Amino acid sequence: MIKLVRVDHRLVHGQVAFAWTKFLNADCILVASDALMKDELKMAGLRMAKPSGVKLVMKSIEDSAEALNSGVTDKYKLMILCESVEDIYRLAAKTNCITAINLGGMKSGENRRQISKAVHVSDEDIALIKELMDKGIAVSVQMVPDDTQTDVAKLI
């Protein structure tokens, strides 16, 4: 069962590893990222950052979609993490089990504007978010479980 789908450029870090997994009682984190699969050093860092007692699975977008569609992940209380809106958009396009997306940390940069404390989006991100919402997927901003969840439509 999917407990949370989150976009966070930091992937597994303090907020995710401890606050969210504990709040959700998640027992598995699926990181869906093509770029990550090419970076052994980053993968090793994520393995060290995962909370004890929580399974960490790292897969490409395609392999993640295949796992979600096959039902093999159904036995877990699953948190799905992607680094970018583009990645979550691609994953959502390949599966119909994603009904809500949480925007957590999205770094600032050139051609990106801040819509909440830690969420910075580009025009491309906004276009993809709107497409996701048009497909009936709820998109919200919420850094930690104690924060109020805000519909992204009010922010963009």
Q: What residues have CB less than 8 Å from 127, skipping those under 6 apart?
A: none
Q: Where are the domains of the chain?
A: 2-154
- Is the torsion defined by CA of 132, 133, 138, 139 positive or negative? positive
Q: What is the pLDDT of residue 16?
A: 72
Q: What is the pLDDT of residue 105?
A: 86
Q: Is 79 helix (H, G, I), strand (E, B) or coil?
A: strand
Report the chain (156 residues): mean pLDDT per 10 consecutive residues.
94 81 95 96 93 95 97 95 97 96 91 91 96 97 92 90
CATH assignment of 2-154, given 3.40.35.10, 3.90.1150.10, 3.40.710.10, 3.40.50.2300?
Answer: 3.40.35.10
- Dist. CA 114–CA 119, nearest whole Å: 6
Whether 102 contacts 118, CB under 8 Å: no
Q: What residues have CB less than 8 Å from 35, skipping those under 6 apart?
A: 83
- Dist. CA 118–CA 8, nearest whole Å: 10
pTM above 0.75, yes or no: yes
For residue 22, count other CB atoms closer than 10 A to its CB. Answer: 12
Q: What residues have CB less than 8 Å from 93, skipping those under 6 apart?
A: none
